[in-house]
Amino acid sequence: MNYRPLLQRLQQAGFTDWVDELEQLQQDWFCDRHHGDFSRWRGALENLPEMQNIRADFNSPAVTIHGQCDDQVKLRSALEMLKPWRKGPYQLADIYIDSEWHSDYKWERVKPHLSPLHQRRILDVGCGNGYHAWRMLDEDPELVVGVDPSVLFNMQFQAVQHYARDPRIYLLPMTLEQLPDDMRWFDSVFSMGVLYHRRSPFDHLLKLKSLLQPGGELCLETLVIEGEKGQVLVPGSRYARMNNVWFLPSIDELQHWLHRCGFQQIRVADINRTTVEEQRSTDWMPFESLAQCLDADDPAHTVEGYPAPLRAVLLATRGLR
Ligand SMILES: C[S@@+](CC[C@H](N)C(=O)[O-])C[C@H]1O[C@@H](n2cnc3c(N)ncnc32)[C@H](O)[C@@H]1O
């Protein structure tokens, strides 16, 4: 992965200390010590076959790399070594990656409500393997930076970037908290599917705000509950079999949180109950999925008896201060 053009861009923008830090961190990002499967994943990237006449399409439901690949068996085998593919779908030459999530459904719910992304600097926090970040390129932003600490998701991103070679997009294998405070640099910041994983939601929202330029736009997508202002579900040890879910506010309460953190022009763009069509087991993610996390006799509830996943998209603006 060549991060140099991104580091140069950050240097030009005056983030010299952070560039020094990234140069140090970078040497340690991809090495065997971080994950037992690392060598297998690296082998997958090293085994990606040649492709000719490459053309990327970011406007279709599947992020697509059109091209002529003479060894489809080798391509499939390398991509299969990077399973499970949770976010997608992707199409690389003749190989269709049917991921666990139809991430295109979320993008269809989010995209119509966004300020135009053309020539914007965008940050996608917790971007997974970068599916939505790729889709953003269709509007020709200046730059899209994704951050996600999962090494596997970073390597899935690298498999796609191996062919796309698009200089406008980067994925950094790190957490939101590792970004500098008060950057005030991005025109749009996305946090989709991350807030409920955070133990301190206010710190998350304040950090997102600090990364935005004055006047910049936050797109926040998260799990919510039905209910009034003041209502928040803090599940027991698990919610829908996930052991890292902390806060599910009502929509009015979430708007209050954003207001409390100083965001302005807060609006609810979409509310959607997740279906087993959108999130399901596939050949590319063969483990349990949403259907196994819902009560078989009462799919309006999770196996733990909580309301089934309901997701909201909110937009908000950083004020001029
Ligand atoms: C549910 S997935 C959402 C992926 C994608 N944004 C989407 O909406 O489909 C949550 C992602 O957040 C990442 N994540 C968790 N904690 C994070 C943190 N502190 N900073 C950045 N990413 C984080 C996880 O690795 C995971 O890929």
Instruction: Convert the pLDDT of each residue in 232-283 to its tens digit.
Output: 999 999 999 999 999 999 999 999 999 999 999 999 999 999 999 999 999 9
CA pair distance 140, 117, nearest whole angstrom: 7
Per-chain mean pLDDT for the chain: 97
Decide: 176 in ligand 1 pocket, CB within 6 A. Answer: yes
- Alpha carbon 57 to chain centroid, angstroms: 19
User: Quick check: 48 pLDDT over 90?
Assistant: yes
Pocket of ligand 1, candidates 123, 147, 194: which has the most ligand atoms within 8 Å of its Cβ, to mutate? 194
Nearest CA to ligand 1 atom 24: 126
Report the pLDDT value the prediction gives residue 32, as an integer from 0 to 100: 65
List pLDDT tens digits, range 71-109: 999 999 999 999 999 999 999 999 999 999 999 999 999
Provide the pLDDT for residue 36: 85
239 lines ligand 1 (CB under 6 A): no
C-beta of residue 187 within 8 angstroms of C-beta of residue 217: yes
pLDDT of residue 35: 79
ω into 89 cis (within 30 of 0): yes
pLDDT for the residue 218 = 98
pLDDT in tens, 103-155: 999 999 999 999 999 999 999 999 999 999 999 999 999 999 999 999 999 99
Alpha carbon of 193 to ligand 1 centroid (Å): 6
Which residues make Cβ contacts (< 8 Å) with residue 99, sequence separation at least 6?
85, 86, 87, 88, 89, 90, 131, 282, 284, 285
126 Cα–ligand 1 center, Å: 3
CA distance 119 to 168: 10
**Minimum-distance ligand 1 atom for the alpha carbon of 175:** 20
Q: Is the CB of 122 under 6 A from ligand 1?
A: no
- Cβ atoms 123, 186 nearer than 8 A: yes
What single letter denotes the amino acid at residue 223?
A: L
Residue 162 neighbours by CB under 8 Å, 6+ apart? 45, 48
Is 88 a pocket residue for ligand 1 (Cβ < 6 Å)?
Answer: no
Overall average pLDDT of the 158-180 stretch: 97
pLDDT beyond 80 at 31: no
Answer whether residue 57 shows pLDDT above 90: yes
110 lines ligand 1 (CB under 6 A): no
Across-strand partners of 186?
212
Residue 321 has pLDDT above 80, yes or no: no
Provide the whole-model pTM: 0.97
Q: How far apart are CA 10 and CA 6, in angstroms?
A: 6
Distance between CA atoms of 8 and 62, rounded to whole angstroms?
31
Cα gap 248→309, rounded to integer Å: 10
CA–CA distance, 202 with 152 (Å, rounded to integer) = 28
Q: Is 128 in the pocket of ligand 1 (CB under 6 A)?
A: yes
Q: 99 near 90, Cβ under 8 Å?
A: yes
